[in-house]
């Protein structure tokens, strides 16, 4: 059996990856390590918690005593765990620096002592490149992160790289574009707008709404990671972009139209400080290994909207009963 450690496996992408891995790799034994912050939820893994090839460990990547035995027996480490929401990083950056930078350091230190380790995947992000006015970011481009989340991820990205360069560790770094799909916490734009619109509530569109994101379905992301675990080269960075550049205002209209809601639900609100105008990833390097995204954006968005419609059990308790979420919402958006 291949021992696989997935950090942050109770979050959005991590839980989709755990499910993907268990379905495709009967010879993998997957351990999820997750602190279950506000964004990490056992519900995200409800159908695989009792899977015979899966174990869940409730723990913090900052806790070296918890990480050491898990990392030291792993052949593959896929490191998703992070604080991930830009708006929260603007309200307070401390937890981002601790988790995203120091937490990565703790895991990398443990990984230095892992005798069977053959892959450490540092899950980075396209946000490390900063705003891209024209063209597409290449892996060799300068990093110009412009918000505390992006900066903490850039720190972790380069720290992981340094452990390859210095200690010859089998590190690869992946920089994905904005993901969408099931189990995404309803603070991010797609699940927030979909669930607000289902309830006929306003959707708060930042600034002029003309910022562009390059959307990637989470299943296409999982497939890319699966390929890179096998085919990626040590010390290399790989962009994973969906190739679906969409302006926020257009995205919002599509969501409202899919739900049969009026455009009058769009509520223009003050812009996010330092709001990156556009992200766009060049994916030549990854495509050369045989990957291409398979989920057309229209279809993926429709299925995602449907998923939130069919799974109110999953998001209603967060939006209606979780006091921490309600308090965050008030702070971020006012009443």
Applying CB under 6 A, the residues found at the interface with ligand TYD are 86, 178, 188-189, 192, 204-206, 211, 213, 248, 272
* Residue 46, token pair as written in the block: 């409800």
Rounded Cα gap, residues 170 and 103, in angstroms: 18
Of 15-34, which residues contact ligand NAD (CB under 6 A)?
Answer: 34
Per-residue x/- marks for ligand NAD, 124-163, CB under 6 A? -x---------------------------x----------
Task: Tell me which of 3, 75, 129, 149 is the catalytic residue.
Answer: 149
Minimum Å gap between C-beta 146 and ligand NAD is 15
Distance CA 300, CA 281 (A): 19
Q: Which stretch binds ligand NAD (CB under 6 A): 21-29, 75-83, 222-230, 298-306?
A: 75-83
Closest CA to 8 of 98, 100, 94: 100
Q: Indicate which single residue of 19, 21, 40, 283 sits in contact with ligand NAD (rule: CB under 6 A).
A: 40
Strands 171-176 and 119-125: parallel
Least distance to ligand TYD, CB of residue 271, Å: 8
- Nearer to ligand NAD by Cβ, of 82 and 266: the residue is 82
- Alpha helical stretches, state H, 102-201: 103-112, 148-167, 189-198
The CA distance from 335 to 318, in Å, is 17
Task: Please state the closest distance from residue 249 (CB atom) to ligand TYD, in A.
Answer: 9
Contact segment (CB under 6 A) with ligand NAD among 5-13, 113-121, 241-249, 306-314 equals: 5-13
Q: Which of 88, 116, 94 is nearest to 188 (CA)?
A: 88
Residues 6+ apart with CB under 8 A from 226: 20, 21, 24
Taking the complex as a whole, the smallest distance from the CB of residue 288 to ligand TYD amounts, in Å, to 27
The β-bridge partners of 247 are 212
CA distance 244 to 178: 10
Tokens representing residue 102 in the block? 């120091």
Active site residue 149: yes
Question: Nearer Cβ to ligand TYD, position 60 or 187?
Answer: 187
Catalytic residue among 75, 83, 126, 157: 126
Angstrom distance (rounded) from CA 264 to CA 172: 45
Q: Contact with ligand NAD (CB under 6 A): which of 14, 148, 170, 186? A: 14
Give the interface with ligand NAD as residue ranges (CB under 6 A). Answer: 7-8, 10-14, 34-37, 39-40, 60-62, 80-84, 99, 103, 123, 125, 153, 176, 178-179, 185
User: Which residue numbers are catalytic?
Assistant: 126-127, 149
């Amino acid at each position: 059996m291949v021992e696989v450690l997935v950090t942050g496996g109770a979050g959005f992408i991590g839980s989709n990856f755990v499910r993907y891995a268990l379905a495709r790799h009967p010879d993998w034994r997957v351990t999820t390590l997750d602190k279950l912050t506000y964004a990490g939820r056992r519900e995200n893994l409800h159908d695989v918690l009792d899977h015979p090839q899966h174990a869940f460990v409730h723990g913090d990547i900052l806790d070296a005593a918890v990480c050491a035995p898990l990392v030291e027996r792993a052949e593959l480490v896929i490191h998703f765990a992070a604080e991930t929401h830009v708006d929260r990083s603007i309200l307070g950056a401390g937890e981002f620096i601790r988790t995203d930078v120091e937490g990565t350091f703790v895991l990398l230190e443990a990984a230095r002592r892992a005798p069977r380790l053959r892959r450490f995947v540092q899950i980075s992000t396209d946000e490390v490149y900063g705003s891209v006015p024209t063209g597409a970011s290449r892996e060799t481009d300068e990093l110009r992160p412009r918000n505390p989340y992006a900066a903490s991820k850039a720190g972790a990205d380069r720290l992981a790289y340094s452990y390859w360069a210095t200690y010859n560790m089998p590190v690869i770094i992946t920089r994905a574009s904005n993901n969408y799909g099931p189990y995404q916490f309803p603070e991010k734009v797609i699940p927030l707008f979909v669930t607000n619109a289902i309830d006929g509530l306003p959707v708060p569109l930042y600034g002029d709404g003309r910022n562009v994101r390059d959307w990637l379905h989470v299943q296409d992301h999982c497939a890319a990671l699966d390929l890179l675990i096998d085919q990626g080269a040590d010390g290399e960075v790989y962009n994973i972009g969906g190739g679906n550049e969409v302006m926020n205002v257009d995205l919002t209209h599509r969501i409202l139209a899919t739900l049969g809601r009026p455009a009058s639900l769009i509520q223009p609100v003050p812009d996010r400080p330092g709001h990156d105008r556009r992200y766009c990833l060049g994916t030549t390097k990854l495509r050369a290994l045989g990957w291409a995204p398979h989920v057309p954006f229209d279809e993926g968005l429709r299925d995602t909207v449907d998923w939130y419609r069919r799974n109110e059990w999953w998001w209603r308790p967060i939006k209606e009963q979780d006091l921490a979420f309600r308090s965050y919402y008030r702070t971020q958006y006012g009443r």
